Structure 1
């Protein structure tokens, strides 16, 4: 399958209960995660994590499926329509 760039949005409603499980899953899928940003959001009593991924649809489905099974975790994701072109000579395009 063709890998494409995409993103994953994760909302963790009970950080104390879910953080360890979320981090285990993210570590397991570390090879498709290009970047990660996590922010606590005290006004709503939750945490928000955003991921940039380089994955095919099966890999992304496995990641989001595993995260979605964790109690108190909501997940949404999307992949870009086109695969990014390969970089020439190791330089960014």
Structure 2
């Protein structure tokens, strides 16, 4: 299976859905290479960056599920090359 590396940036503006975010990330845990979370208390948001190594369908599915949550913004950047 060909995989790609991607960086998924998540901004959480609705803290009520944090549990949902974590549950979705747990579902895709086998693909996650690394995760960094930064609480930005002054602005009332949290920023999460996820590095993932997976096939295009898994990356799109994860991004899509996160993006459907209210108060969550998601952007995905893909590497140019698969392996």
Instruction: Give the TM-score, by structure 2 length.
Output: 0.93
User: Residue 58 of structure 1 aligns to a residue in which SS?
Assistant: helix
Q: Which runs of 5+ in 1 are unaligned?
A: 85-93
Per chain length, whose mean CA-contact separation is higher, i.e. which structure has more relative contact order (CA < 8 Å, sep 6+)? 2
Map of 1:82 onto structure 2: 81
Q: Which runs of 5+ in 2 are unaligned?
A: none
Name the structure where strand makes up a greater proportion of residues: 2
In angstroms, what is the RMSD of aligned CA positions? 1.1
Greater gyration radius: 1
Map of 2:10 onto structure 1: 10
Equivalences, count? 83
Instruction: Give the TM-score, by structure 1 length.
Output: 0.84
Q: Which 4+ runs in 1 deviate beyond 3 A? A: none
| Alpha-carbon offset, residue 26 of structure 1 | 0.3
Superposed, which structure 2 residues align to 1:16-55 within 5 Å? 17-55=16-54
